[in-house]
Structure 1
C-alpha cells in the first residue's frame, strides 16, 4: 500500500462545510486498499464500484450518468409543475412574463402528449400507418424528398447542410452514408443478433405493412446488410481531408446517374439547386451506384418503407413500441424499458432543449454568474498555458508554429449557455426562436408533434443553405453534461450542465481542475489533435503543417495508437475485445492533453487539502480526474462502444492517461515500471 500521508497544518487545510462534504464524496468513491500504482482506476473508483448497481432499465451508470440524471430531475420538476407561477421565476416585465408563460405551456403540451399513454394505446399504430400512406404512392424521388422534408431519416444516403470546410462561413450540402438499423456495420455479421433483428422486423411489418411477407422481409434485411457491407468503417472516417471531396452537380449526375440528384435538390431546397456538393464517403456512393442498378426498384422502395417504420415506431402505442425491446436488449443488455416519464423528458429535451435550458439555469444554479466567472478564469488560464506551450515546444518548425499560434489566439471559448441564437436568458428571444412551431404542438398528438418538430428542424436545415454560417449557434443545450470543440468555428463550448460536482467544485481547485479543468484542456487539445490540426485559425480545412513536422506528429501519434491498442474489455461472450487505438486516437490525444494542461494550471498556485483526508492536493487532482470516469457498463453496451464510439472505455481513459504523466508517478510515489508508471510514455503537447 502506497502511503498518501502528508504533514497536517491548520493553514493548508480547507475545513468549511462545503470542503467537508466534498471530502466525504471523494472518500465514498475511493478504495484505499488498492495500490494506485497498479490500477489507478480501481483505486479511485473501487469504493463506488462496490456499491453501484445498474438499474434494469439502463445499460450503464456512472458519474456522467449520475449528473445527467440529476439534471433530468430538474427538467422533470419543470415539466411536472402544474402552474407557471409555481416555478417561482423572476421576470423583468409583463411582456417577458407573458412570453415565459407561453413558452412554459408549449413544453408542457409536448410533454403531456408523450405522457398520455391512454390516447397512444387507443390510437395504436394508426398514426404510423397514416404517415406510411403518404409514402406509398410516391415514386422513389418523392418518397425520399418527403422523408427529408419531414425530418425522417433517409435510409439510403444522408444529405446534410454544414459549413463548407474550405470556406467555413458558407453552408454547403454534404452527402454521406446513412445510419442503419444497427449501431455499426459489424453487427450485421453477428448471426444471433441478426436472427433477433429479422424476427422483429417481420413482426413490425405484419402490423403496419401487411403486404410484405416473411420472405420479402428477409430480402429487405439482406439488402440492408449489403448497405452495411459497403459502408465506410468508423476508423476510416477519422481524416477530414479524405472526407472532403467536392463535386459539381453535373459531375455528381454523371458519376451517379442511378438517381435524379437535380430533381431531388430542387424539391428539398425549394428551387435552390446547389452548384457543388461534398462527397464525404465516395466509396459508399460508388458501391451504392452498382448495388442500386442490380436491385429491383420495388425492393428498394419496400426497404425505405420498413426503415421508416423502424425509425418512428417508438412514437406509437406501448405494445408496438415494446416489440423493439428484444433487439435493444441484445445490443445494450438492459432488461426493461426506461420509465415512461424518463422517455418523455428525453424527447421534450430533444425537441425544446434551449427553452428548457432557460428554466434549468434558473432552477439549478443559485448563482450562475459566480459559476460562470470561476469557469471563465479556468478556461482562460488553460488556454494561455496551451499558447505558451505552442510557443516553446521543440518539435514544431517555425512556419507551423506561427500558424498554430494564430489558431490558438483566434480560438473562442464559450461557457454556460447561448446568449445570441437564441438568448437562453430571454423568454422573448426564445418565443421568437420557436414561433414557427408553437401553434402546431397539441397536448394529445404525440406522433404529429414529433413529426412537426422534425419538419421544423428540417426546414431550418435546408433554409440555412442560402445563409451565412451562424457561428453564434450552440450544438448543445445548457443542461447537457458534455462539452465540445467545433473545428470550422475554432470554438470550445462548455455548457452549464457539466459545471457541477464532481466536475466543477467551488470548494476545491484540486477537484475542479482534476474534473472540469481536464474537460476544458481536452476540448482545447481537439483543436490540435489528428483531425483538429488540419483546420487553421479561421476554421479552414487545409494542410498547413510542414512535411517534417507532420512526420514528427505522426510518430508521436503512433505511440498513442500502440499504447491504447494494448487495452481490452471483456464482452458478453467472455472474450477480450481490444480498443481500436487508431479509431480513438483523437479522443485519446485530447484526454492526455487535457490532463497535462489542467495539471499545469493546478500547479501554478498552492492548493489546500480537504479536511478529513490525509491526501495531498496533487493526489486529489488525479483522484478527481479518475472518479469523474467511474462507470459500470453491461458487457453488451461495452462492445457497442468498442465498435461504434471514438472514445476509449472509462477504465482505459483513466489508466492510459496517468501512465503518461510523470507528475502522477511522483504524487503517488510509484516505482519505475509499475503498471501505472511505464518507462515508455506518450506525449504530444
Structure 2
C-alpha cells in the first residue's frame, strides 16, 4: 500500500501556494474545461464543487508530502502488517472489502483479515484516515470521480486532449502539441509494446547487436568486479559477497525471443479484445488486461527473465527484486550504440549505461537486496557506515547544483548519481581492457582526439538535451535522476577523464 498520487505531478506544486498561483490557476481552468466538455453546467454550483475538489487535493498533498526521502531506504518502506492491523490504524477505509474486491477475479486467491500487506508509510495511512473521516463523503466521491476522469482524458477526442495540452504547456513550458503520429505510436507502444516491438526488431534492429551487447555487458561486469579491491571502505567478506551478486545479475538484451514467434505472441495477447475502430474502448481494454495480469501474480514466485520494458523503448533498468539488468533494442542504436561505431564510442555510450545499471545493484537502494533479490542486509554495519560517509560527498556535490534557484535534491538523486559515476568508471576500465586485448583503434580523421578521449566524447554526446525552465523544474521535483545538464559532472569526479585530457582535477 503506497501513498496516493496527488492531482499535480508532485505535492510541492500544491503546498504553500497563493490563490493566484499560475499553475493552480491553470489547473482550475483545465478542470472547468473538461467538465464543460462532459456536459456539466458552467455555473456557481459547478465552480464550488470543482474548487472543493482542488482544495481537498491540496489537503491530501499536505498529508502525503514527505521530505525525508524514505524511498531511498527500502527497509524503511518494508512495513509488514495484516489487513486487521491496518484497519486499526486507518479505519476510514474498509480494507478487507476493498482488497477482496481488487482480487475478486482471481480464483486461486482467498483474502482474509490475516492477509499480510506491505505498508510503505504507516504514519501516512493514519493521517490519511483522519483526513477522510473529517471530510464530507460527497466530496471524497467527487474527488475520486475527477481522478478517474482525468486519467482517461488522453484517450478522448481532440478537444479534451487540447485542454490537457494547454495545461501541460503551463506545467512544462512546451508550446507545441505532440504530432498525432507520435501520439499514436507512443500509445500503441504502451498498450501493445511486445507486438509493436516485434515489428521494430524485424525492421530496424541490427543483426548481431544482441550478441555484441552481451559481450560488452560481460566486459563491463568484469571491470566492475576488478575495481572492488580498490574500495578500501569495503570489508573482505562484503567484497566477496559483492562479487557473487555481480556474477548473479541476469542480463536481458534486445527483446524477449517469444515476440518473433507469431503463435506465442498471439497467445500472449489472446485475452485482449482489440477493435480497429474503437480507440477509447481499446485503451480501457488494455488497462483491464494489464490490471488482471498484475493481480494474478499474487501467490506466484518471482519469475526472473520476464521483461518489464518494451523492446522499442530507449531506456534500460535494474530490477533489485530480480537482480537483473535489461537493455531493450530501442537503446541499442545511435547515439548509444552502433555495430559500425568505433568501440570507444560504444563503450562511452551504451557501455556507460551498462555500468550504470550494474552499479545500481550496489547503490543506496540496491545494496539492500542480496543476489537472490531478497531484502536482506548482506553488508556488515561498519561497511554500511563507511559507505554512507563516502556517498555523503555526492549528496553535498549535487545539492549545490541549481536550476532557476531550485537546488537539485542530492539525497533523492543519490542512487542515480552513484550509478552515473560508477558506470563511467566501469565502462572506461572495460574499454581499456578491450584495447589491451585488441590494440589501439585507428584515430578518426579530422577529429584530433585519441580513442580514449573519444570514449568520453561518446559519453557526453548521449546527454545532449534541451529543456524549458518549467520542464527542468518539473524534472527536479519529480525525477530521481539529476537533470541531464548535470550528468557531465561525473567527469569532474573522474581521474581517468582528467588524465586523458591532461586537465587539473578539482577534488570533489
Q: Does 1:379 align with 2:217?
A: yes
Q: 1:439-460 deviations in whole A, cap 9, x for unaligned?
A: x211221111111111111111
Distance 1:372 1:366 in 2: 8
Q: Does 1:425 align with 2:260?
A: yes
Q: Which of 485, 488, 513 is matched with 2:318 structurally?
A: 485
Distance 2:63 2:94 in 1: 21
Q: 1:394-419 deviations in whole A, cap 9, x for unaligned?
A: 22112322322221121111211113
Distance 1:591 1:372 in 2: 23
Distance 1:306 1:366 in 2: 46
Distance 2:389 2:498 in 1: 24
Q: What is aligned with 1:333?
A: 173
Q: Does 1:599 align with 2:425?
A: no
Q: Secondary structure at the match of 2:81?
A: strand
Q: Which of 3, 7, 10 is matched with 1:184 structurally?
A: 10
Q: Secondary structure at the match of 2:327?
A: strand
Q: What is aligned with 2:103?
A: 269
Distance 1:206 1:490 in 2: 49
Q: What is aligned with 1:434?
A: 269
Q: Does 1:229 align with 2:62?
A: yes
Q: Does 1:362 align with 2:202?
A: yes
Q: What is aligned with 2:413?
A: 584
Q: Which of 339, 342, 345 is matched with 2:182 structurally?
A: 342
Q: What is aligned with 1:469?
A: 302
Q: What is aligned with 1:51?
A: none
Distance 1:342 1:505 in 2: 24
Structure 1 regions of 5+ residues with no counterpart? 1-174, 571-575
Q: By how many angstroms is 1:372 displaced?
A: 1.4
Query: Does 357-366 or 210-219 show the bigger shift?
Result: 210-219
The ranges of structure 1 where at least 4 consecutive aligned residues each deviate by more than 4 angstroms after the TM superposition are none
Q: Does 1:455 align with 2:288?
A: yes
Q: Does 1:206 align with 2:36?
A: yes
Distance 1:360 1:589 in 2: 33
Query: Could you tell me whether the CA contact under 8 Å between 1:232 and 1:281 is conserved in 2?
Result: no
Distance 1:317 1:395 in 2: 58
Q: By how many angstroms is 1:339 displaced?
A: 1.3
Q: Does 1:318 align with 2:158?
A: yes
Distance 1:372 1:206 in 2: 51
Q: Secondary structure at the match of 2:379?
A: coil
Q: What is aligned with 2:392?
A: 558
Query: Does 400-409 or 301-310 show the bigger shift?
Result: 400-409
Q: 1:303-341 deviations in whole A, cap 9, x for unaligned?
A: 111111111122222122212233211111111321112
Q: Secondary structure at the match of 1:545?
A: coil
Q: By how many angstroms is 1:642 displaced?
A: 0.7
Q: Which of 295, 301, 304 is matched with 2:144 structurally?
A: 304
Q: 1:287-307 deviations in whole A, cap 9, x for unaligned?
A: 101101100111000111111
Q: Secondary structure at the match of 1:258?
A: coil
Q: Secondary structure at the match of 1:247?
A: strand
Distance 1:628 1:478 in 2: 19
Q: Does 1:402 align with 2:228?
A: no
Q: By how many angstroms is 1:391 displaced?
A: 4.7
Query: Could you tell me whether the CA contact under 8 Å between 1:188 and 1:228 is conserved in 2?
Result: yes
Distance 2:231 2:148 in 1: 52
Q: Which of 482, 488, 492 is matched with 1:659 structurally?
A: 492
Q: By how many angstroms is 1:392 displaced?
A: 5.3
Q: Does 1:216 align with 2:54?
A: no
Query: Could you tell me whether the CA contact under 8 Å between 2:70 and 2:77 is conserved in 1?
Result: no
Structure 2 regions of 5+ residues with no counterpart? none
Distance 2:454 2:230 in 1: 29
Q: By how many angstroms is 1:466 displaced?
A: 3.3
Q: Structure 1 residues 481, 535: closer, same or farther in 2, change over 3 A?
A: same
Q: By how many angstroms is 1:610 displaced?
A: 1.3
Distance 1:591 1:607 in 2: 26
Distance 1:204 1:495 in 2: 37
Q: What is aligned with 1:14?
A: none
Q: What is aligned with 1:573?
A: none
Query: Could you tell me whether the CA contact under 8 Å between 1:200 and 1:327 is conserved in 2?
Result: yes
Query: Does 273-282 or 227-236 show the bigger shift?
Result: 227-236
Q: How many residues align?
A: 488
Q: By how many angstroms is 1:366 displaced?
A: 4.2
Q: By how many angstroms is 1:467 displaced?
A: 2.2
Q: Structure 1 residues 209, 252: closer, same or farther in 2, change over 3 A?
A: farther
Q: Structure 1 residues 242, 402: closer, same or farther in 2, change over 3 A?
A: same
Query: Could you tell me whether the CA contact under 8 Å between 1:232 and 1:284 is conserved in 2?
Result: no
Structure 2 matches for 1:515-526, cutoff 5 A? 515-526=349-360
Q: Say which one has the larger Rg.
A: 1
Structure 2 matches for 1:40-79, cutoff 5 A? none
Q: Secondary structure at the match of 1:485?
A: strand
Q: Secondary structure at the match of 1:536?
A: coil
Q: Structure 1 residues 347, 646: closer, same or farther in 2, change over 3 A?
A: same
Q: Which of 525, 532, 537 is matched with 2:366 structurally?
A: 532
Alpha-carbon RMSD: 1.6
TM-score (norm. length: structure 1): 0.69
Query: Could you tell me whether the CA contact under 8 Å between 1:510 and 1:607 is conserved in 2?
Result: no
TM-score (norm. length: structure 2): 0.93
Q: 1:557-609 deviations in whole A, cap 9, x for unaligned?
A: 00111111121123xxxxx2211111100000000000000111111213322
Q: By how many angstroms is 1:354 displaced?
A: 0.6
Q: Structure 1 residues 209, 223: closer, same or farther in 2, change over 3 A?
A: farther
Structure 2 matches for 1:13-28, cutoff 5 A? none
Distance 2:206 2:472 in 1: 37
Query: Could you tell me whether the CA contact under 8 Å between 2:255 and 2:311 is conserved in 1?
Result: yes
| Higher RCO by CA contacts (8 Å cutoff, separation 6 or greater) | 1
Q: By how many angstroms is 1:650 displaced?
A: 1.2
